[in-house]
Every structure is written in C-alpha cells, then in structure tokens.
Amino acid sequence: MNCRDRLEALTGLLRPWSGLWSRSILQNWPESGAAYPEAWLSYAESLDEAGERMMDHGALPGVPPPSLHSLLLALHELTGLPWHPGVQPLTAADVQGLTAKKTHELERVLALLGQRAQTIRQAVDIGGGMGHLARLCVRTFDWTFHSIDRDAALQEKGRDWLRRARMLPREKLCFIHATVEEGPQPGIDPLFSGQNSASIGLHTCGPLALTQIRKSQKAGFLLNFGCCYDKLDPTRDYPASRFGKTHPLPLTRHALALTARGRHQKTEAEFALMKQVYAQRFALDLLLRRKFPELGFVRAGDAPKALYAQSFAAYAHDRLERLRIDTSMTDSELNAFELSVRTETRRIFLCHLLRDRFARALEVVILLDRAILMEEMGFQAELLQVFEPRLSPRNIALIASRAA
C-alpha cells in the first residue's frame, strides 16, 4: 500500500475516535471516561490480570465487543509496516563500550545503507553524537562523513574513539559543532546537497526530523528515524505535507505524548509496576479532587520508584509534602480512601489500556506525513521497520531516494 492510501485509510479510521486519543484521561476525568463505549469498558473489566496484559500487547482475549475487535484488526493491518531485512555484524572491538541498543541499531543501519545507498560518496549525520555511525560508515563504505551535533562534550568523546580506531582514513570524518536550525545556515547547508550525498538522522528529537527533511531537498538519499514526538508543536509541525493537510487529525499535545507510548511488549514485572504506578497516581488524583476541588488538576510528578510498591499512605505523604498540601489524614484514613476508590481507579486504568491501542497508529500517521512530504519534494519514499521494538521502540525508518 502506498503512503497516501495508507495515510488516508489510517486517518479515516482514527478520526471518529479522537475523543479517546486526543484528550488526557486523568485531566478530564470523569467526562473523558464517557467517550469510551460501555461495551469496551465492560469487556475490559471482565479481564483478569493476564487478560489485561494481553490487551496491553494488542490481543483481545475471550469475546471482545465486535467494534473493538474490528478496529484493532484494522489498526494492526495499517500500522504493520514491512521490515528491512539484514544485519551487518560488528566485531567485538567495534562494539566495545557500546550499549546493546546502540550495537543493534548500528548493525541494522549499516546493512540498510549498504543495500540502499550504493551511489553515495559523502554523508552528513544530524545529531550524530559521538559519531559511531560516522566512524563505521567511513570504514565500511569509505565515505566522507560530517557528524553534526550541538553537544561538544559528546563530540570530544567521539574524537577519542576516532584516535583509537585502527585501519581508518581518519581525515574522512569531520565533527562539526553546530546547532542545526530552520532557515539558511551557510556553514552547513552545502553538506546536505548533491546527488551522491546522504543525509542521516538517527533518532532526531521532535521537530529536528523536519528540519533535516527541509535541509535535504537537494540530497541524493535521506534516512531518518524520528523520536520524542511530544516535542513537536502540534500547530506548526503537523501536518507537514500538502496531502497530510487534506487529511488532518487533531494531534493535540496529549495525542503527541501518547505516540511515545507505542512500546514493546512489557514483561510481567514491567506491567505490574505500571499498574502500581497508575493505581497510586489515580487514587491521589481522586483524593485531591474530593478534598480540594478548587485546585483543579494537580500535577503530582514522579515519585521515587520504590514508593509505588509501598502503601498508598506512604506514596501520598511523599507527594502531598512535595506539593505542600495538608490533608490532615492519618495513614489508615489514606489507605481506606484508596480502597474505597479501587473500582474507579481500575476503570481509569482500563481506559488507559484502551487508549494506548492508538499509540502506534498515531506515530505511523506522523511518519507517513513526513514520507509524503519527501515525495512532494521529488523523492521516492518509504517507511520500513528496522529495529526490534523491544530494544529500540522508535524503530521505523523513513528512507528516501531522489526519484530517477
């Protein structure tokens, strides 16, 4: 399916459910809960913990309501992007000091570039950090490579790696300390230009991906992995393509934050921790609403991880102290309150599980819009999954080559 058809189908599927994914559940509770079909909530309430976990993985055990079942099937089909095959194994010396995630990413990106970028002779990496990709590309493909980053300390570490590297034409790798911005930057813009030039961005945060795309109009090849979509400005950065503007979605701040929740399958322990965190947080929210309605929605912030496993009273005392709110409640009163609202906090939790089903689809919408922007700039563009989501959840590559 081409990018435009996929975007049209996906936005058509998501639009009627924007009441669920575009708003925060907690901030708008209980009205936010009313947007969830009663049949979906009753089904979710019928699940035990194993069933909840299955739903968190995208499965629907038992007999789900037909509307939920068909929606999830359609979302699954439209977000099921093809995979890029291939791994270029690195040696133990290459990966010494690198995390498993970074090694995994580098082995797959090198394989991808080896297959897709055969006419390339020079490359530029936006947000290249320590320049691991740059160093390996110079060695593997003999490219001239410029690695740009605004973090000078990271680049200095990268120079150390370079000094230690063997069998490498070091003069071919150049670190440039600069902040890449919208608008003309005569010092770096020429690096993005040329039929034999590749423009690379490996996990460019928020709008930096769009800056890379706009700077790369005259490049021969572009590879981008986006991340941190919550840093996008929903009015400025989406939709970016002309076609996207004719099929827009209300991607609010809350919807953008949801895109980062399209995660790998959680382990039993991860799921249990998420449940604990939510249960404590939701109970505190309900407590503050009842006792201090005049405060409106109160941001509780993150508590130390260990506190979530303790009693509600321990968690609540910590947060209330930080917020300088005195409820004058004893530990047993706080714990009794938490017990009294368990049915409601579970309902809020189940709404979150249901809302999370939209996360990957919203991410794919943002990326399809970017791919279509590349097409509108005269490139052939596609989206492929490259990384194992468990190791690197923002795993979709935007790959574009100048159309012949």
Footprint of ligand SAM (CB under 6 A): 127-129, 148-151, 154, 179-180, 202-203, 205, 208
What minimum distance in Å lies between the beta carbon of 267 and ligand SAM? Answer: 24
Decide whether 45 or 181 has the Cβ nearer to ligand SAM: 181
What minimum distance in Å lies between the beta carbon of 154 and ligand SAM? Answer: 5
- The residue among 130, 121, 125 whose CA lies nearest residue 148 is 125
Decide whether 154 or 257 has the Cβ nearer to ligand SAM: 154
CB atoms within 10 A of CB 168: 15
d(CA 326, CA 339): 20
Torsion of CA 313, 319, 322, 325, to 10 degrees: -70
d(CA 90, CA 225): 21
What minimum distance in Å lies between the beta carbon of 221 and ligand SAM? Answer: 17
- The residue among 261, 268, 356 whose CA lies nearest residue 49 is 268
Decide whether 168 or 178 has the Cβ nearer to ligand SAM: 178
First-to-last C-alpha distance (Å) of the chain: 21
* Residue of this chain nearest to ligand SAM (CB atom): 127
Decide whether 113 or 148 has the Cβ nearer to ligand SAM: 148
What minimum distance in Å lies between the beta carbon of 359 and ligand SAM? Answer: 19
Residue 388 C-beta-side C-alpha neighbours within 13 Å: 11
What minimum distance in Å lies between the beta carbon of 1 and ligand SAM? Answer: 29
| Pair type for strands 122-126 and 144-149 | parallel
d(CA 221, CA 119): 9
Residues in the chain: 404
Reduced to 3 DSSP states, what percent helix, strand and coil does the chain have, rounded to the nearest 5?
A: 55, 15, 35
Decide whether 127 or 244 has the Cβ nearer to ligand SAM: 127
Decide whether 281 or 394 has the Cβ nearer to ligand SAM: 394
What minimum distance in Å lies between the beta carbon of 212 and ligand SAM? Answer: 9
Decide whether 99 or 119 has the Cβ nearer to ligand SAM: 99
Say which residues have a Cβ less than 8 Å from residue 72's Cβ, sequence separation at least 6. Answer: 58, 60, 357
Decide whether 109 or 368 has the Cβ nearer to ligand SAM: 109
What minimum distance in Å lies between the beta carbon of 129 and ligand SAM? Answer: 4
What minimum distance in Å lies between the beta carbon of 297 and ligand SAM? Answer: 30
d(CA 162, CA 46): 58
